[in-house]
Amino acid sequence: MLGSSPEEKEARTREAKRRGNSSSPRLRLPASFPGPTPGAYYTLSPELCQCGIIWGMKSTLRTFIAIELSTEAQTALAKLQQRLKAVVPPQSVRWTAPENIHLTLHFLGDVAVDKVSKITNLMQAAAATCSPFSLTLGGLGCFPNTRRPRIVWTGVSGQVEILLKLHRELSEGLKTIGFTPETRPYSPHLTVGRVKDGLPQRLLNQLGQVLEQTQPQVGHVAALDVTEIHLMQSDLKPAGPVYTQLATAALNPTANRSL
């Protein structure tokens, strides 16, 4: 640059070296960031930049593969929760925020950051074998049973055979990268609430009885068209988990529907 002094040129060179290769995605952290070098530039991993993960900031991520719900389905489930709140013992259930309700396909737990791209690839391969499908959300149940309720859920029906195929394809792909398959049969459901810890048996019995009596009254809740699946990060906070989409795989409209 004309008019630049040697000192200015040297300063620009040092800054360029500090920032690294300008062709790589970069993020500058705010000075208030509680990291090792506030205000520094961090280079995003080329493999993980599509997921928005900063290389080197975390070695593992708590993740799961899921189907996210439409706004209409979330609204319908919120109405179901309001119905249940009116009849269950007060303060007995911690209700899931409607925007956090999802249909889990696989819970992966803490995974190494460098496995995210492999998981994304196998998700895309599994999704390519399945065409978009429709589910009906409805009914009411609890795990493990109404005598010892821990999880309050609503179920799914409709084109469940495609959902199960998708789950199987993901299971096979996950095994190839070192994940141990679940030993329990896959039971698709949507968690609408979790029973609070430490409830006396009297309240647990009362809650179970109310849920059992309410079950026949809960029919169709919402319809859900499934066109894609997501890799999600779960960040556990004191106020509840925060979910972030890391990757998406679209289902294949031309996939053979024969199972």
Q: Among this protein's residues, is 189 annotated catalytic?
A: yes
Q: Which of 102, 106, 167, 230 is catalytic?
A: 102
Q: Among this protein's residues, is 102 annotated catalytic?
A: yes
CA atoms within 13 A on the CB side of 23: 1
Is 231 exposed, middle or buried, given 0-12, 13-18 or 19+ CB atoms closer than 10 A? buried
CA–CA separation, 235 vs 126, rounded Å? 26
Q: Which of 106, 167, 189, 230 is catalytic?
A: 189
Residues carrying an active site annotation: 102, 189
